[in-house]
Structure 1
């Protein structure tokens, strides 16, 4: 009998982004950072499951269709919410988004860690919001025994409170993770006045094998527990909007580490010791995939054939 194929498990919100543009147009796009990461992995050909919380309503139908079209398997019981969460994204003249939210977050009672999972990904919202947050942290703690844990803080102040209130949870999740990917805006909000590179180095000494900071048009910096420090430039691109850019980078980062055979708890030491050339290749591809995403409206990451 063949063993099950290694699978990614993504934990967190699937919602509808109601995008409001300066010209007065309003569009509904399925979104949510974890859902976007799952979709990015599915479009890159990786087996992926999403543990989330949405409703069997009109918005929920939109979310389900979007996930299933991208080969994302939805964990049973994830559609038990009273209403599907909504994020209102208001775009400025540069295409950057600010958000307000209406989210009910719970974890399906039947949720458990699949035996074949090689990587588990989460963001802060799922771990912070009651009543589901404690269950997410428990799953991450359990996952470390056999899986790589990846984490994107994906800070949303409207949901998470002040830096002082949320920082202890972020630091706990950083310490649980093998890979942390954050934006410079996340880091600057969490640690005002502290150089982003200093925060990345501190996080890399706290547990993760790899810390990556995306900086928009200024490119990417990365620090490893093994002492490698690299910077990768961002591709030049005409920006439609930035919705989902960091999420597509995250899915590509996971995909690249997967191809490099650096996922799974038994590869933790190899991940921390990744060499500079291999890391640059993975980050360069991830930046290119994020650039494709920002070149078109909404969280719409590319399919494998568009990338290769």
Structure 2
């Protein structure tokens, strides 16, 4: 099984009423839940770890996850309210206003011995859960227990409007990077954390501290990857008619982990020995799935049966 640990929330997405007025429509989201859904829809056993409310919005989240075959046995249900995020699309980026005080996600607590790690191949984490001190501490405790047994994947998925101390946040993300085997971030996240530092220089620095694989996604310009032994890889993104880019990065992450699983390369030592051809195939598949997600509204990653023949 693959696990994704972190945020699950309700996005309010821009829409139009029948008479053309602007409106907001609720949709299940949260980067880490999106990634769990993306992996499960690609037919890999997947579970979600995190807090989910028992309120109406929490029921929407749980139903959406279950309908995509995400295993919720490791999720914690509570009567704290669900996190809400209001989205605004500007150009090719989506900006969010979060309402996350005293929510189910914010109050999630890692329970030791809750997971038999010998049954898990990879744990992914990142996004809003790592912004607040409590969420970051609980997640790090989880990773500390899991690290000896499973591959760790990280996508910071930075949310600057939630960050109150950028220096402290950057230091925290670097600490999480050092615990990870796979680090993926968007070009926007990279710029927030590392300004105009060359990608290759920062990738080399990260690879020297722990990860085996560092990946930077660049929207419609594809993705770049750096691996300790396979070297540098660059892949293109398919040209599609973009409806919106919500969830594209999450779809990329999910598909990349699924591809590594299918190639038999997600286990830590096997990942260290991946070839350039295998890594190219994994990143190309991830780009194709992300592009597919951009062709429809909201965070709606593809199911295996929806992908064109030959995608994998």
TM-score calculated relative to the size of structure 1:
0.92
The total of aligned residue pairs comes to 298
Q: Which of 76, 85, 100 is residue 87 of structure 1 equivalent to?
A: 85
Question: Which of the numbers 226, 229, 239 marks the counterpart of 2:229?
Answer: 226
Residues 293 and 302 in structure 2, CA contact (< 8 A), matched pair in contact too: yes
Cα distance in 1 between the residues matched to 2:292 and 2:36: 17
Q: After superposing the two structures, state which structure 1 stretch, 56-65 or 160-169, moved more.
A: 160-169
Residue 132 of structure 1 and its aligned partner are, at CA, apart by 3.1
Which string of whole-angstrom CA distances, capped at 9 and with x for unpartnered residues, describes residues 28-83 of structure 1? 11000000000001101111111121211121111111100000111356221410
Residue in 1 aligned with 2:212? 209
User: Gaps spanning 5+ residues in structure 2: where?
Assistant: none
1:211-245 deviation digits (Å, cap 9, x = unpaired): 11000011100000225101101110111111110
The one-character-per-residue Cα deviations of 1:167-215 (angstroms, maximum 9, x if unpaired) are 1111111111111110010000111121223222221222111111000
Structure 1 unaligned blocks of 5 or more: 1-6
Instruction: Please give the per-residue CA displacement for 1:120-171, whole angstroms capped at 9, x wherever unaligned.
Output: 1100432332433212101111111110100001000112334312111111
CA contact (8 A) 2:131 2:163 kept: yes
Partner in structure 2 of residue 106 of structure 1? 107
Question: C-alpha separation between the residues in 1 aligned to 2:94 and 2:255?
Answer: 22
2:292 pairs with 1:295: no
Q: Distance in 2 between matches of 1:108 and 1:117?
A: 20
Name the residue aligned to 1:3.
Answer: none
Please tell me the root mean square deviation across aligned C-alpha atoms, in Å: 1.7
Alpha-carbon separation, structure 2, partners of 1:38 and 1:207:
24
Would you say the 8 A contact 2:110–2:141 is kept in 1?
no
**Which stretch has the larger CA shift, 157-166 or 45-54?**
157-166
Supply the distance in 1 between the matched residues of 2:270 and 2:179 (Cα, whole angstroms): 17
